[in-house]
Amino acid sequence: MASIGKIARRTFLIGSAAIVGGAAFGAWYVGRPAPNPLKPGSGEAALTPFVLVTGEGVTLITPRSEMGQGTQTTLAALIAEELDVAWEDVRIMHGPPAAAYYNSALLHEVIPGKGYDQSEFMHALAEYVGRVGKVMEMQITGGSTAMKDAYERLRVAGATAREALKSAASARLGVETARLRTENGQVIAPDGTAIPYTDLASDAAKVDLREPELRDPSQWKYLGKAMPRLDMVGKVTGTAAFGIDTRPEGLKFAALRINPKRAGMRNFDASAAESMPGVEKVVDLGNGLAVVARNTWLAQQAVDAIDVEWEDAPYPSETAAIFEKIAAAFDKKPNSTMRNDGDADAMPEGATEVTAEYTVPYLAHATMEPMNATAHYTGDALTVWSGNQAPTFTRDHCARAAGLDPAQVTVITPYLGGGFGRRGEMDFSVYATKVAVAMQGTPVQLTWSREEDMRHDFYRPGAMARMRGAVRRGSAVLLDAQVAAQSTSQQAMNRWLGISPGGPDKGHVDGLFNAPYAIPNHRVRGYLADLDVPVGFWRSVGASFNAFFQDSFMDELAHAAGADPLDFRLSLMRDEFPAGAGVLEAVRDMSGWGGTKLANTGRGVGFSYSFGTPVAQVVEVIDEGGTIRIARVWIAADVGTILDPGITEAQMIGGCIYGLSAAVNEEITFADGAVEQMNFPDYDALRMHNTPKFEVQLLENNNRLGGVGEPGTPPAAPALANALFDLTGTRARQLPLSQSFDLLL
């Protein structure tokens, strides 16, 4: 059997090798059921890895973490819909690290192809390759995949459990299962006899499970409706436990200081810190220090009092030099040519050429809850409480840091105070583990200051694009896009799994190569910058910058062609991707696009297809006495099947605000090898007073279930930049926009 490393190299990035990699496992290995990690006690039944029935009630196991998108609520709804549990009785638990909870949809993204034009064959292939994720124990929350992964799987889990409970009731009552029905956590016989599931647990555990039939969506009670979120009451009463709220008996608190230049330490002097009030221990982490004290604040004071001499950064120490390296990537061989239609080298006869170069900065995730984790090491066991997006990888990395076997490590995943990709990393859990090992027998919570969090992120890579296009008779006839940036996938795979995948990086050009415009001569090439600035997955990943390049340039082409920017896009998309055209038409109609233009007002449209979901946004900006305010945004998204309209709307608005915040005012810069931004005053997002009003329309014409958590982000930056062009006549080709415009901050 091929090693995991080899499979990962073959599958992570696209190309025909992905298919070979999947097949190398053999269908038997990939297809066999993963063991059920739940260990029910006597009188309890774990009917599938997702349904646990005990004497007290039914607990639904959600395989993904809750970082704010409402994922766990909709995952529970998928199970409860088939299981027939009353919503007020639904209890959920985050699944422990286990292969059974692998994310089958994450690897779908590695399949070649643009996505929106996927054939049944390619879809089936993606399903197959996705199952390799089980072998790799890829229990990951990310990539807007939770629902794609769970849509069938969790409904089947609920239905399987329901049928097992009915079989148990059938044996007890002597009534055929076909004559039994289920409602509100009970099996009900034709004579009205009702047996609660809790009474049937032991018997149901002995039933042979069989493939159930799923209900037709027309019968759904929960799915398709805005369900009350299961985490809402806890989150508005301060009783929901985030990672930072973990309070085991005897807990000590620690603070962190790591080399801001992302290298090691030459030397340090901690003598002053050691004698400060409440201090228990100074821990040398190799690339920085932690101080354990009676409370976090005392620990923070002490760690700040340590004299340290840091080693130099492994990347150019100034922002300008970093971007020179990014620009230099254009001179190398492209890493990918994911689209190459027609002849992009030739200039179509009679066409007008347009060229432009764009630049976007590095960005931090800046989750509201700073990085933290709590760990308790006893010598032969380790428990880690960590709000993380990847429990299996977290378990393995912490085991290694503690010198334990993964089986000796328990990972508990409380709520995440924001993730956006940052909590897919293992660093915060590993640092806490190292501190706990130094404090054997005492649980320790390691909390990062906001400054540590801001300066030790895995940043959205800075990126540049060189765009060349041509228009003729009101339409685009050529688009030749080149993007240069660091490869997030390569760096992250190396950190997570210790492998450096080669091959084309699809995420790097996502949002460009699969922009669903039918342009006859269309080429997209990606160039990887050779840099060691720490980069990571940031909400919407490559599409976060590529949509800005793509859809700002579409606007430039439309203006060069003398066409209305929205009609220009629409005519290139209508046949290529009808669901994409549908969202453009929806925002056109909602916003009254093309009507009388008010004085001091500008409007722009942005479109992006990412994570399976086309989203269009129209942004309206108003000049109010020299200061420009983002007044309104209209959003249309087509997610194929709307599993929860309330949560989907919240994600579309929240995703857009995340994108607008970055476009307006966020930038990570480097000086002397360290990130210059320290805290929210240097890296601020939109707030109540400068957040626009929103109107959202959700459509269901797309032929596949699309993602929800990320697709709202990419169109925001181009829509805003295009609106500012409409208002001022100035084309912004660099973010953040507050550097070029007087925006309301």
Partner 1 sequence: MATTLTINGKSHDVDLPEDVPLLWVLRDEIGLTGTKFGCGVAACGACTVHIDGQAVRSCQVSLGDVWGDVTTIEGLGTPDAMSVLQQAWVEHQVAQCGYCQSGQIMQAASLLEQNPNPSDTDIDDAMQGNLCRCGTYPRIRAAIRSAAAKMEG
Which residue in this structure is represented by tokens 């810190």?
273
Token pair belonging to 205: 């555990």
Axis crossing angle, helix 146-173 with helix 71-83, rounded to the nearest 10? 30
Spell out the residues 6+ positions from residue 216 whose beta carbon is closer than 8 angstroms to its own: none
Contact range with partner 1 by CB under 8 A, out of 21-29, 62-70, 75-83, 344-352: 62-70
Shortest distance (Å) from residue 370 CB to partner 1: 7
Element (H, E) at 10: helix 4-11
User: Phi-psi region for residue 192, left (φ > 0), alpha (ψ -120 to 50) or beta?
Assistant: left
The dihedral through the CA atoms of 725, 464, 367, 149 has a sign that is positive
Is 41 a binder of partner 1 (CB under 8 A)? no
- 480, β-bridge pairs: 468, 523
Residue of 92, 621, 628, 686 interacting with partner 1 (CB under 8 A) = 686
DSSP, collapsed to helix, strand or coil, labels residue 194 as: strand
Residue 415 lies near partner 1 (rule: CB under 8 A): yes
Residues 295-324 that bind partner 1 (CB under 8 A): 295-298
Work out whether strand 194-196 and strand 181-183 pair parallel, antiparallel, or are unpaired. Answer: unpaired
Taking CB under 8 A as the rule, does residue 653 contact partner 1?
A: yes
- 110 close to 506: Cβ distance less than 8 angstroms: yes
> Using the rule CB under 8 A, which residue among 417, 503, 516, 706 binds partner 1?
417
The number of residues that bind partner 1 (CB under 8 A) is 65
| Residues contacting 285, CB < 8 A, separation 6+ | 256, 258, 431, 434, 435
Q: Which of 182/540 has CB closer to partner 1?
A: 540
User: Is 684 an interacting residue with respect to partner 1 (CB under 8 A)?
Assistant: yes
366 contributes a contact to partner 1 by CB under 8 A: yes
Distance CA 104, CA 147 (A): 10
Question: Which one among 655, 673, 714, 715 touches partner 1, defined by CB under 8 A?
Answer: 655
Query: Is the bond into 112 cis (omega within 30 degrees of 0)?
Result: no
| Shortest distance, position 342 Cβ to partner 1, whole Å | 40
| Nearest distance in Å: CB 69, partner 1 | 7
For partner 1, give the closer residue by CB, 29 or 680: 680
Q: Is 657 in the site for partner 1 (CB under 8 A)?
A: yes
Q: In this structure, what token pair is assigned to residue 387? A: 């709000």
| Binding track, positions 100-119, relative to partner 1; x by CB under 8 A | --------------------
Residue with smaller CB distance to partner 1, 206 or 693? 693
Q: Which CB sits closer to partner 1, 142 or 334?
A: 142
How many Å separate Cα 625 from the centre of its chain?
A: 39
In whole angstroms, give the CA distance from residue 461 to residue 508: 10
Residue span 692-711 as binding mask against partner 1, x where in contact by CB under 8 A, dash where not: -xx-----------------
**CA distance linking residue 289 with residue 628, whole number of Å:** 45
3-state secondary structure of 662: helix
Under a CB-based contact definition with an 8 Å cutoff, are residues 30 and 521 in contact?
no
Which residue type does 626 have?
G
What the block records as the tokens of 266 is: 């030459």
Q: Which of 15, 97, 370, 503 binds partner 1 (CB under 8 A)?
A: 370
Indicate whether 714 belongs to the interface with partner 1 (CB under 8 A): no
CA 464 to chain centre: 22
Interface with partner 1, residue 88, by CB under 8 A: no
* Alpha carbons 499 and 259: distance in angstroms, whole number: 25
Question: Is there binding between residue 738 and partner 1 (CB under 8 A)?
Answer: no
**Do 490 and 528 form a contact (C-beta atoms < 8 A)?**
yes
Among 672, 680, 700, 703, binds partner 1 (CB under 8 A): 680
The verdict on 238 binding partner 1 (CB under 8 A) reads yes
Binding mask 241-260 for partner 1 (x = CB under 8 A): xx-xx-x-----x-------
Contacts of 598 (CB under 8 A, 6+ apart): none
Tokens 């004299």 sit at which residue?
307
Could you say whether residue 233 binds partner 1 (CB under 8 A)? yes
Q: Could you tell me the smallest distance in angstroms from the CB atom of residue 681 to partner 1?
A: 5
Single out the segment in contact with partner 1 by CB under 8 A; choices: 50-58, 463-471, 508-516, 689-697: 689-697
- To the nearest whole angstrom, how small is the minimum distance from the Cβ of residue 240 to partner 1? 6
First to last CA, the chain: 57
Judged by CB under 8 A, does residue 367 bind partner 1?
A: yes
Q: Could you say which of 59, 69, 118, 487 contacts partner 1 (CB under 8 A)?
A: 69
Enter the tokens of residue 731.
């084309």
Q: How far is the CB of 173 from partner 1 (least distance, A)?
A: 37
Alpha carbons 325 and 407: distance in angstroms, whole number: 43
- 204-237 b/e (C-beta count within 10 Å ≥ 16 → b): bbebeeeebeeeeeeeeebbbeebebbbeeeeee
- Quote the least distance from Cβ 294 to partner 1, whole Å: 8
Task: Mark the segment that binds partner 1 (CB under 8 A) among 112-120, 354-362, 560-568, 656-664.
Answer: 656-664
Which amino acid would we find at residue 23? A
Q: How far is the CB of 313 from partner 1 (least distance, A)?
A: 25
Q: For residue 485, how many C-alpha atoms fall within 13 Å in the half-sphere facing its CB?
A: 37
Please report how close the Cβ of residue 637 comes to partner 1 at its closest, in angstroms.
15
Give yes or no for residue 226 binding partner 1 (CB under 8 A).
yes
Q: Which of residues 418-477 bind partner 1 (CB under 8 A)?
A: 418-420, 447, 449-450
When binding is defined by CB under 8 A, the residue of 31, 234, 379, 474 that contacts partner 1 is: 234
Among 679, 728, 738, 740, binds partner 1 (CB under 8 A): 679
The number of residues making up the chain comes to 745
Should residue 625 be labelled a site residue for partner 1 when binding is judged by CB under 8 A?
no
Asked whether position 87 contacts partner 1 by CB under 8 A, the answer is no
At residue 173's C-alpha, the angle toward residues 172 and 177, to 5°, is 95
Which backbone phi and psi does 460 adopt, to 5 degrees?
A: -60, 125
**Counting contacts by CB under 8 A, is residue 96 touching partner 1?**
no
Binding string, residues 258-297; x marks residues near partner 1 by CB under 8 A: -------------------xx---------------xxxx
| Residues 733, 718 contacting (CB under 8 angstroms) | no
Provide φ and ψ at 551, rounded to 5°. Answer: -90, -15
Least distance (Å) between residue 430 CB and partner 1: 21
- Regarding 330 and contact with partner 1 (CB under 8 A), the answer is no
Residue 119 or 239: the one with the smaller Cβ distance to partner 1 is 239
Q: Which residues bind partner 1 (CB under 8 A)?
A: 67-70, 226, 228-229, 231-242, 244-245, 247, 253, 277-278, 294-298, 366-370, 415-420, 447, 449-450, 646, 650, 653-658, 661, 679-681, 684-689, 691, 693-694
